[in-house]
Structure 1
Amino acid sequence: MFPWARPQAIAHPDPDFLAVMLAITLGLCGLAFASGWGLAQLLKTDRAQQISLIFGLGMNNNGTGLVLASLTLADHPRVMLPIILYNLVQHLVAGSVDRGLSRKEN
C-alpha cells in the first residue's frame, strides 16, 4: 500500500519520530476502545451491547484519510506513516481487547 512512504522510512529511519508516532497512535486507539467500554459502563448495557460499543467506537476505517493524504500530500511521504501505523496498531489493540473479553467470559 503506498510504497513511497515505506522505503523512505526504511532508508532514512528516524527512531524518535517513529516512537512518538507509535505512542500517539497507541494512545488514540486505546482511547477509542476505552471510550466504548466507558460508554457501555455508563449505560449499563448487557454483554453483547458492551462488545458492540467497544468495537464500534474502537475500530474505524481510515482508508479514505489514507487516500486523501496520499493525493494531497504526495510530496510529504512521512505524513502517511502515522495513518499506516494507526491501521496496524488498531488491529493489534482489537485483538488484545478481544482476547481480554474472551478471558473475562470464561
Structure 2
Amino acid sequence: MKRLLVITALLAAPLAAAAQPWPDGGRAAYGADRSDQDRARDAVRSGRQAPLSRVLAMIAQRTPGRHLNTTQGDQGGRPVYFVQWQMTDGRVVIFVVDAESGQIIGRQGG
C-alpha cells in the first residue's frame, strides 16, 4: 500500500507542477525576454553594439576552444557580453567583453 501511495505521488507531482501558471503571467522564467533580444538586435543594427559573431570570432582567434553560452549584462554601467568558452583542455572561461567596442575587458575562471 505504501508503495502505491509513493508511486501515485511521484506520478502526480509533475502534473501538478505543469498545471501551475508561470510566475510572470505565461512567459518562462529563464533566459532573456523578447524585448531584451530586440533591444540588443537594434543596438547592433544601429552600430552602438558589436555583433556577437565578431566577438566570438575574435575570441576563437586568441583562444582555441568552443563557445558554450553568452549572456548580456552590464559592468560599471557599460553593456557587456559574458561569453562562456570551453578551452581545448576542458576548462571553462568566462570572457567579459565590452559590447560597444567588442574588446575583452576581463576573464574569469580557467
TM-score, normalisation: structure 1: 0.26
Q: Which has the higher helix share?
A: 1
Q: Which has the higher strand share?
A: 2
TM-score, normalisation: structure 2: 0.26
Higher RCO (C-alpha 8 Å, min separation 6): 1
